[in-house]
Amino acid sequence: MNNLIDLARHIPAPDASLTVAYTPIRLPMDGRQPLELRLTAPAAGDNLPVVLLSHGFGPSNYIPSKDGYAPLAQFWAERGLAVIQPTHASSRVGGLPADAPGAPFFWRERAGEMTTILDRMDEVERQAPAIAGRLDHARIAAAGHSFGGHTVGLLLGATLDGESFSDPRISAGILLAAPGRGGKDMTEENARRFPFFDVDFSRLAARSLVVCGDADDPHFTARGPEWHADAFYDGPGAEALLTLHGAGHGLGGIAGLDARETEAEMPETLETTRRMTLAWLRTALAIDPSAWTAACDALNGPAASLAHVGLKTGPT
């Protein structure tokens, strides 16, 4: 029950169910402190699809960690998905030392941490007894917000300086307000500061959804909000673009309610983001083949003022 939601209720979603969470799950890694995770999953059910959720590099101390993004992670878990959240090397609260090689962004380490989770799924389950044996290791998606979108883009097939970080175990992905093209598409200063944004999306082959806010005006580039949609236009696997009307970089509040990352708390926009991404995941992970179509239909009807979806074959 949420008294703040009106129009977004028309986007169909399953009822919430009880969840169970384990934190911190610790995975030892060579030459550094363990990688800490949060795992949130339905309290009942088997063959649960898995979503790896990569946090951004926002201004808060704790949101960029396994303990952030509860509005998104909890919503997905309450509706049938097992969500794994790492505290990336770039995290202020639990990441690598500020003087370590690759600091402060640790873009390469972030991608490696996601791969480590996939390599050690049995160990993740061992540390979560109520969830052990219930995860479907053959149905895995990855989602990332902001800098997390950069991390996930690499895992989905985007290349950097010709180097591939693609992991075929990830069959689907969501890029939420992710960085667009680097290099000449950025301001000169930002191109120098963020050379790792100069990715090539043309090899992003995994089935993907790109999510943007049409009021998300990035400071990295003079191109405006459309910059965040580059992966959709360049990536052959990016099949849909969800554009949220009036939304900024926080997409209504996915990182945290009343958090610094939530520059404008927008309950209807947050609910739209949650329901549309859930519907896409339910279809992409073969839970409900009709979920995405039904959600898009709602945006053509009573929820039309909230967002619109563009497909490679045309808008809907």
Strand partners, 36: 26
- 86 three-class SS: strand
Dist. CA 186–CA 85, nearest whole Å: 30
Output the CA–CA distances (angstroms, integers) from residue 203 to 107, 155, 163, 228, in the order listed: 19, 11, 11, 17
For residue 88, the one-letter residue type is H
The two tokens of residue 300 are 């053509």
For residue 244, which of 269, 226, 275, 276 has the smallest C-alpha distance?
Answer: 269
pLDDT at 316 exceeding the cut of 70: no
pLDDT one-digit tens code per residue, 45-55:
999 999 999 99
pLDDT at 40 exceeding the cut of 70: yes
CB count in 10 Å sphere of residue 3: 6
pLDDT one-digit tens code per residue, 255-283:
998 888 888 899 999 999 999 999 999 99
- 110 three-class SS: helix
Looking at residue 35, its pLDDT comes to 98
- Supply φ then ψ for residue 39, to 5 degrees: -120, 120
Confidence band for 314, pLDDT divided at 50, 70 and 90 = low
Looking at residue 257, its pLDDT comes to 86
| Percentages of the chain per state (helix, strand, coil), in multiples of 5 | 30, 25, 50
pLDDT one-digit tens code per residue, 140-175:
999 999 999 999 999 999 999 999 999 999 999 999
- Supply φ then ψ for residue 20, to 5 degrees: -130, 140
The two tokens of residue 13 are 């979603």
Output the CA–CA distances (angstroms, integers) from residue 274 to 40, 74, 125, in the order listed: 16, 10, 26
Looking at residue 235, its pLDDT comes to 98
Residue ranges and CATH numbers for the domains of the chain are 7-315 (3.40.50.1820)
CB count in 10 Å sphere of residue 30: 4
pTM flag (> 0.85): yes
pLDDT one-digit tens code per residue, 2-35:
999 999 999 999 999 999 999 999 999 999 999 9
Q: Are 172 and 136 in contact (CB under 8 A)?
A: no
Looking at residue 262, its pLDDT comes to 85
Q: Are 51 and 112 in contact (CB under 8 A)?
A: no
Strand partners, 208: 173, 238
Dist. CA 167–CA 161, nearest whole Å: 17
- Supply φ then ψ for residue 9, to 5 degrees: -60, -25
User: Which H or E run includes 272?
Assistant: helix 267-284
pLDDT one-digit tens code per residue, 202-214:
999 999 999 999 9
Dist. CA 161–CA 159, nearest whole Å: 7
